[in-house]
Amino acid sequence: MVQRWLSLSFLLLFGALSWSQDSPSRFQVFGGYSYVPSNFSYLGGGESGWNAAVDVHSWKWLSITGDFGQYFATYSYGGNVPSDHSTTYTFLFGPRISAPLSRTSRITPFGHFLIGGAHISQTGNGFSTDKSFAWAFGGGLDYRLTDHLSLRGEGDYLHNNPFVTQDNQLQNRVPARHARLSTGVVFRF
């Protein structure tokens, strides 16, 4: 299922590239810190990590986005019991709509709907790995510092199918819905 969505996303991306040949292409690359308040695994607390995105502008206000993230969590039991570690990757693709507030404004709001997948691996008192379908929708603001550099604040609703942990009694404690907050720098080419 995930492979079909990835194939469809790549077709949309390359279709947008060929469609944009009539006008000059603009690429933008985002990178920064990301936080998910609810874990992808049964470990308590939230997960911190990074988020990166590449946008290919296919029309004045429409771009195709590839969004990638990695999130980490560690839970320490104390004593001689080894800690549990969880690492989750997300890879999402889809359209992003953005338009400056005015011709002279430094602020550009945007919104997007992304589909793809997520992958989790856990180590500690055993090892497990799983993957699932994922999607996100949300938006944010870019604040332009120069023609080629902006600051970004972004918030998303991120959903993944529940991951199967090595202890199936914990399945009810593993959320499939997450808020995702990201902030960082955007480079425009």
Q: What residues contact 15, with CB distance under 8 A and at least 6 apart?
A: none
The structure's pTM equals 0.77
DSSP symbol at 45? S
pLDDT value of residue 163: 67
Q: What residues contact 110, with CB distance under 8 A and at least 6 apart?
A: 96, 97, 98, 139, 140, 141, 142
pLDDT value of residue 182: 97
**Which residues make beta-bridge pairs with 14?**
none
Exposed/middle/buried for residue 73 (C-beta within 10 Å: 0-12, 13-18, 19+): buried
2-20+27-37+51-121+133-139+150-188 has CATH 2.40.160 classification: yes
pLDDT value of residue 99: 87
- Which three-class secondary structure state does DSSP give residue 5? helix
Rounded CA-CA distance 70/185 in Å is 17
- For the record, the structure tokens of 69 come out as 């993230």
Q: What residue has token string 């593993």?
A: 174
The pLDDT profile of the chain, 189 residues, written as one tens digit per residue, is 545 544 555 444 444 444 444 443 489 999 999 998 876 666 667 889 999 999 998 888 899 999 999 998 887 777 777 677 888 899 999 999 998 888 889 999 999 999 999 998 877 666 677 888 999 999 999 999 998 999 999 999 999 877 665 555 454 455 678 899 999 999 998
